């Protein structure tokens, strides 16, 4: 069992590679959406990845949904 908060039903998915790939795809889709909407600012994106996502990734009590860009 994970020490992190996880979405309901995720425990039934035991393939770590499948989970990793799904997360990677979701992240790529979110970035694509920001580009299409003209909301992507490279400086802010780098800060979001290197600060907000890094902090969220290691916070065991954080909600399973990553912080918004």
pLDDT digits (tens, 9 = 90+) for 8-24: 766 666 777 877 788 88
Rounded to two decimals, what is the model's pTM? 0.60
Dihedral sign, Cα of residue 46, residue 47, residue 50, residue 56? negative
pLDDT band at 1 (very low <50, low <70, confident <90, very high): low
Long-range CB contacts (< 8 A, 24+ apart) of 49-52? none
pLDDT tens, position by position, 24-46: 888 889 889 988 998 888 888 89
């Amino acid at each position: 069992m994970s020490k992190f908060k996880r979405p309901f039903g995720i425990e039934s998915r035991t393939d770590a590679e499948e989970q990793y790939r799904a997360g990677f795809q979701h992240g790529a889709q979110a970035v694509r959406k920001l580009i299409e909407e003209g909301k992507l600012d490279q400086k802010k994106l780098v800060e979001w990845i290197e600060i907000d996502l890094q902090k969220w990734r290691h916070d065991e009590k954080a909600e399973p949904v990553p912080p918004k860009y």
